[in-house]
Amino acid sequence: MLLLPGLVRALANPLQVFPKEESLEEKPQPYVLSIDFDDPGDLCMTSESDDTIQIYSVKDGRQDKSLASKKYGVKLAKFTHNSSSIIYASTKQNRTWLALLFLYPCLWLLAITSD
């Protein structure tokens, strides 16, 4: 394959370097613990290390809802058979803790604990 000298120079030199965004308080970026899609594939849900559940609209490519579970934490969040309810496990207790949550309106229906 024949490469033109101008193309080689353009590939070797980046057009613009973007500096790292500096913030006043350095907080670590949250990372994804689990990801799940609802049955029709319209919604995507992630549980994150900052104890939040993020719900995204796949069709629109935007965030629909953010739910905080600061007291109990959140890990392995999954949609149930219905796209408006989820079940998730706790990360902040020494015992098993599961919750069933309705998204619209935001309502905890059931919490199961075990020693």
12-22 residue pLDDT tens: 555 555 555 55
Mean pLDDT for the chain overall: 76
Residue 23 pLDDT greater than 50, yes or no: yes
Question: By the 8 A CB rule, do 95 and 114 touch?
Answer: yes
CA-CA distance, 111 to 93, in Å (whole number)?
13
How many percent of the chain have pLDDT more than 90?
17
Burial of 87 (0-12, 13-18, 19+ CB in 10 A): middle
Choose from 14-18, 86-90, 109-113 the range with maximum mean pLDDT.
Answer: 86-90
pTM over 0.75: no
* Domain coordinates in residue numbering, the chain: 28-114
